[in-house]
A = this chain, B = another copy of it.
Amino acid sequence: MAQSFLSVVDAVDSLSYSTDSSFYSLIAHDGVTPIGLVSAEIATYFRQEGNSIITDDAKKSITIKPEYDTIAKRNELFADIAARWRKLPAFNDLLDKGWRNELYTVFNPSQVPYLHLERAFSVLTGVITYGAHLTGYVPADKTSNGKLKLWIPRRSATKPTYPGMLDNTVAGGLGYPHGIWETVVKECYEEAGLPEDFVKTHARSTGVLSYMYVTDDGRVQPEVEYIYDLVFDDETTVVPLPVDGEAEDFKLMEIDEVLQRVRQGEFKGNCALVILDFLIRHGHITPETEPNYHEIVRRSHRRLPFPLR
């Protein structure tokens, strides 16, 4: 039996279900609903926000005060904190350089928006972030050599996160107030120059992955990624091209090359997981070839301990 790809899911499902005790729960103003998970280091900054947020070291909790009982008040509170923290040297890279002027949405248990916050600030709070990842491919019977090929971009060397790594054909975060399908169509055009009409007739929704990992600098990132396939008619008529500088180039790769590069760690972690999901759904990774087949599939769809969209 072939070597396992379990390490791919280990990398993005790297926080145990029984939450690591060093993290602080970020709790909604109702005093009970957890909405994020904050590192002990970042908790020290929340401790300075005693007017609006109660940090309890015994309970390992960071709780929004009860008076923040409308989404407007919460949005204003988090915008204010983000604007002030942005000026702190400790958050220069993550917040100031990473600032996107884009809002992400946190949901309450009834799937209603609970809070909108700056995308760069969301990664300090450990709230669930949502995105869409799309795999562009040319089916085996439409390629020059009869083998399935995937369109793989390399991330620009100047991107603030994971520069120079391999990526999924198109991927984007779900910013407020955009819908998922709307985001897919928009990002296909902005990142890869693919026309709206082409995407609408050639892309299809195929599932959703969820995982929760700890970054190298100790932050928790729970993510939900909606998954799409984009089938190309052939290798040349329509092709993805770098447009907005997110991708350096796009290369058409056979599966063997893709998997070799996955093994060598050339892909951004969650993009490698999307590749595995694609190859599992298309029958190229099977229970016969992958010794940890069930564990990979199950852990790519893990339960997240927060309310969901």
Contacts and interface: CB of A to CB of B under 8 A. Distances in A.
A208 B301 CA distance: 11
Contacts of A206: 280-283
Given A206-B280, A224-B294, A298-B301, 5 more contacts: A181-B288, A205-B283, A207-B297, A300-B301, A302-B303
Nearest to A180: B287
Contacts of A282: 204, 206
A232 interface: no
Interface residues of A, number: 32
Contacts of A111: 291
Determine chain A's interface SS by DSSP, over half rule: mixed
Contact of A288 (B17, B180, B300, B303): B180
Interface in A268-309: 280-283, 286-288, 291, 293-295, 297-298, 300-303, 308-309
Contacts of A303: 17, 298, 302-303
A138 B119 CA distance: 43
Closest 7 CB pairs of A and B: A204-B283, A301-B301, A205-B286, A205-B283, A180-B287, A298-B301, A208-B297
Contacts of A179: 288
A114 interface: no
A287 B174 CA distance: 13
A293 B208 contact: yes
Contacts of A224: 294
A128 to B, nearest CB: 10
Interface in A161-181: 179-181
A148 to B, nearest CB: 12
A158 B191 CA distance: 58
